[in-house]
Amino acid sequence: MPNFYATTPIYYVNDKPHIGHAYTTVLADVLTRYHKLFGYDAFFMTGVDEHGQKVQKAAAARGISPQEHVDEYSEHFRNLWPKLNIDYGYFIRTTDGYHKKFVRDSLQYLFDKGEIYSKEYEGWYSVGEERFFEEAELVDGKDPISGRPVEWLSEKNYFFKMSSYQQKLIDHINANPNWILPDFRKNEVLGFLKKPLNDLCISRPKSRLSWGIPLPFDEDFVTYVWVDALENYISGVQDKKHKDGTPLWPADFHIIGKDILTTHCIYWPTIIMAMGWELPKHILAHGWWMIDGSKMSKTSGTGVNPMDYVETYGIDVFRYFLIREMVVGLDATFGHDSFVRRINSDLANDLGNGLNRIHKLILTNFGGKIPAPAQSGEQEKELLSYSEKAIQFAKENIGEAKLSLVVEEILNSVKALNRYLEITAPWKLAKSTEQKDKDKLATVLYTGAEVLRIALNLLSPVMPQKAEQGRLMLGGSDEVLKGGEILGEGEALFPRILEEK
Ligand code: MSP
């Protein structure tokens, strides 16, 4: 059995979860479920990033200790995941003792190896991003990421010799062209690596920031939050194994948003190289959900809160929209109209109608038992070829997480079914008394049920509950239908969203 281990970023607990967190986690969940469907021992880890200035500030603003704050806020994340039907394997918190020990041990190792040194440092510091920027990196004198003001700071700090791994990293990227996905993000990283790489400041003086993991070799400093956070990917699974006994690390996929590309594709791999660990196999950067041209967070002031869609329209429909609408890698827009259009056309019209038609026709004409096919011919062969293509396409493309395309291909098989039903018109065949029409009716309904069974099975990672309900409507078989399966209760699986005019 092949193995699969994916990760999501661990989320800052300075704020409540929003669409960005939900999307990355749904993506990891769907990808992991696809691997399970295709026979992998698949596991994914998510969690929370609890140290650093952002969190310390959020706690201070609430007048409570950072520990109290993170204990409460980490639960907002943990509690959200069941509401989105997220089946994670492990939830990590960076304030857990074993994680802190792991980070301290690794830093001591690097210090002893001569990979970490201290020096007096002066530079432009951004509180928002919790890092220093070069003069040349500033945009209009401000933090190039958040656009917020920066301040000039001078202090002693500890540095990791990141620069000495620059060429090794470039070589690795060039030798493994699909290590960073999609391709244009790889080019972005290579572009960044054309300039000389600086060493990485891995400490913060306790006088400025106390909420962090103390450095093992100088307790007056805490660990830079990103170094602490990145190591979660290994610390969280250090004692876990796949069913065949192999360790989970190295991860198959780090799933991240495009804004945290540098930390994952430069800081993290160079730390790994210095530690002598194995590199992750792929880093997949997705784009942002946008609304009115800017990155979405909670409501982005527009009144559209994507999380409300879960309440109003259901978990699976929401998951479907996220996965179908965003081409992994590119930005996508979350809009009410596109949501309604997508759900009504793909799910209510195509999949829902196909399923209802087949279910009803078998119920009225075959007493609720799926008929055995009588005369499979060219039309049926052609129709089933769409299902086979969808299976093949899914197997070939989950490796690069091309999930919107996979879903599109599955829906193509459903569209082909609806066309087949229009051409063969089983409702007309049902009225005929001729044996050949009766036989054809059996074949049409059998083939239709089989196409739907395959489509629902392939959609189960995206819509676990709806796919299961649909499967039960068709008799609950996991294997190729034989005929004779007894239909389950029928209900409209995907009601049309009716808009008030
Ligand atoms: N704590 C760090 C990650 C450490 S990983 C070792 C962090 N946390 S975060 O809470 O800010 O979450 C960031 C994740 O949410 C990123 O992957 C980011 O891209 C994603 N999103 C935040 N807003 C987003 C959208 N509007 N759309 C899609 N994802 C975006 O960064």
What CATH number does the domain containing 155 carry? 3.40.50.620
- The count of other CB atoms within 10 Å of the CB of residue 306 is 23
In a domain, 497, yes or no: no
15 and 163 inside one domain? yes
24 lines ligand 1 (CB under 6 A): yes
Q: Where are the alpha helices (DSSP H) in 398-497?
A: 403-424, 426-429, 435-459, 464-473
Nearest residue (by CA) to ligand 1, atom 23, is: 20
CA distance 235 to 248: 11
Nearest residue (by CA) to ligand 1, atom 18, is: 257
In a domain, 451, yes or no: yes
Nearest residue (by CA) to ligand 1, atom 21, is: 20
260 lines ligand 1 (CB under 6 A): yes
CA distance 499 to 501: 6
Nearest to 87, CA basis, from 476, 465, 496, 368: 465
296 lines ligand 1 (CB under 6 A): yes
388 and 466 inside one domain? yes
Q: Which residue has the tokens 């056309």?
A: 345
In a domain, 326, yes or no: no
Which of these three, 286, 321, 348, is where a domain ends? 286
Query: How is residue 151 written in tokens?
Result: 């301040």
- The alpha carbon of 264 and the centre of ligand 1 are apart by a number of angstroms equal to 12
Which of these three, 249, 269, 286, is where a domain ends? 286
CA distance 217 to 210: 16
In a domain, 300, yes or no: no
Cβ atoms 189, 264 nearer than 8 A: no
- The alpha carbon of 9 and the centre of ligand 1 are apart by a number of angstroms equal to 7
256 lines ligand 1 (CB under 6 A): yes
> Where on the phi/psi map is residue 400: left (φ > 0), alpha (ψ -120 to 50), or beta?
alpha
In a domain, 59, yes or no: yes
Query: How is residue 187 written in tokens?
Result: 């080019």
Query: How is residue 402 written in tokens?
Result: 């091309």
138 and 69 inside one domain? yes
Note the Cα 179 to chain centre separation in Å.
17
**Under-50 pLDDT residues of the chain:** 501
Q: What is the pLDDT of residues 139-152, one digit of tens each?
A: 999 999 888 999 99
The helix/strand/coil state of 402 is: coil
255 and 386 inside one domain? no
The helix/strand/coil state of 374 is: coil
Q: Which domain holds residue 469?
A: 336-473
267 lines ligand 1 (CB under 6 A): no
Task: Tell me the residue type at 169.
Answer: L
Q: How crowded is the C-beta side of 464, counted as CA atoms within 13 Å?
A: 17
What's the domain count of the chain? Answer: 2
Q: Which residue has the tokens 């007493």?
A: 367
Nearest to 47, CA basis, from 267, 287, 305, 230: 230
- The alpha carbon of 55 and the centre of ligand 1 are apart by a number of angstroms equal to 15
298 lines ligand 1 (CB under 6 A): no
Q: At what angle do helices 19-37 and 306-313 cross, to 10 degrees?
A: 60
222 and 371 inside one domain? no
468 lines ligand 1 (CB under 6 A): no
- The alpha carbon of 369 and the centre of ligand 1 are apart by a number of angstroms equal to 49
In a domain, 318, yes or no: no
73 lines ligand 1 (CB under 6 A): no
Give the per-residue pLDDT at 302.
58
Nearest residue (by CA) to ligand 1, atom 8, is: 11
The pair phi, psi for residue 90, each rounded to 5°, is -155, 145
Note the Cα 466 to chain centre separation in Å.
20
277 and 373 inside one domain? no
61 and 177 inside one domain? yes
CA distance 287 to 256: 9
Which of these three, 226, 252, 286, is where a domain ends? 286
pTM assigned to the model? 0.94
- The alpha carbon of 484 and the centre of ligand 1 are apart by a number of angstroms equal to 50
Query: How is residue 273 written in tokens?
Result: 């190289």
138 and 250 inside one domain? yes
Question: What is the number of the ligand 1 atom nearest to the C-alpha of 233?
Answer: 6
The helix/strand/coil state of 462 is: coil
Establish whether the linkage from the previous residue to 182 is cis, with ω within 30° of 0.
yes
Task: Tell me the residue type at 75.
Answer: E
446 lines ligand 1 (CB under 6 A): no
Give the per-residue pLDDT at 377.
92
Q: What CATH number did the domain enclosing 399 receive?
A: 1.10.730.10
377 and 448 inside one domain? yes
Query: How is residue 474 written in tokens?
Result: 């068709």
Contacts of 93 (CB under 8 A, 6+ apart): 47, 48, 50, 70, 74, 99
39 and 113 inside one domain? yes
Give the per-residue pLDDT at 145.
87
The helix/strand/coil state of 93 is: strand
282 and 340 inside one domain? no
Residue 34 CA: distances (Å) to CA of 166, 194, 240: 35, 37, 21
The helix/strand/coil state of 496 is: coil
Q: Which helix (H) or strand (E) holds 103?
A: helix 97-112
- The alpha carbon of 25 and the centre of ligand 1 are apart by a number of angstroms equal to 10
Cβ atoms 283, 256 nearer than 8 A: yes
289 lines ligand 1 (CB under 6 A): yes
Choice from 12, 74, 264 to test ligand 1 binding pocket (greatest atom count within 8 A of CB): 12
Burial degree of 152 (CB within 10 A; 0-12, 13-18, 19+): exposed
Q: Which helix (H) or strand (E) holds 227?
A: helix 225-230
346 and 282 inside one domain? no
- How many Å is the maximal CA-CA distance in the chain? 93
Question: What is the number of the ligand 1 atom nearest to the C-alpha of 232?
Answer: 6
Note the Cα 492 to chain centre separation in Å.
29
Give the per-residue pLDDT at 490.
82
Q: Is the dihedral of CA 341, 320, 409, 421 positive or negative?
A: negative
Task: Tell me the residue type at 425.
Answer: A
In a domain, 299, yes or no: no
In a domain, 310, yes or no: no
Note the Cα 119 to chain centre separation in Å.
39
12 lines ligand 1 (CB under 6 A): yes
Query: How is residue 413 written in tokens?
Result: 């098989």
> Where on the phi/psi map is residue 351: left (φ > 0), alpha (ψ -120 to 50), or beta?
alpha
Give the per-residue pLDDT at 442.
97
